[in-house]
């Protein structure tokens, strides 16, 4: 599932500030750190869409696969 930061903040407001929760998220900066290169906005936006259509589980790097697929689609004119 992808969410805007404002939606995450709104969702978290219902929790006690001292409550323990588990959270996993990916931001564009994460992809740039992992790939040691800047991710173009159009590639990131396409990867978010691919991720939303087929989200990864907590033990995979599905978002990296989505970035690779998005980059390939855009570079080869399929997106």
Q: Which residue has the higher pLDDT, 26 or 7?
A: 7
Q: How far apart are CA 1 and CA 19, in angstroms?
A: 22
**Angle at alpha carbon of residue 14, lines to 8 and 17, rounded to 5°:** 95
What are the extents of the domains in the chain?
Answer: 5-75
Of the candidate ranges 5-9, 42-46, 54-58, 71-75, the one whose mean pLDDT is the lowest: 54-58
pLDDT tens by residue, 14-67? 999 999 887 778 888 877 766 677 888 998 898 888 888 775 554 455 777 888
């Amino acid at each position: 599932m992808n969410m805007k930061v404002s939606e995450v903040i709104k969702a978290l407001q219902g929790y006690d500030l001292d409550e323990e929760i588990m959270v996993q998220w990916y931001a564009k900066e994460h992809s740039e750190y992992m790939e040691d290169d800047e991710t173009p906005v159009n590639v990131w936006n396409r990867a978010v869409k691919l991720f939303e259509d087929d989200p990864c589980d907590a033990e995979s790097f599905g978002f990296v696969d989505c970035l690779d697929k998005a980059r390939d689609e855009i570079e080869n004119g399929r997106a």
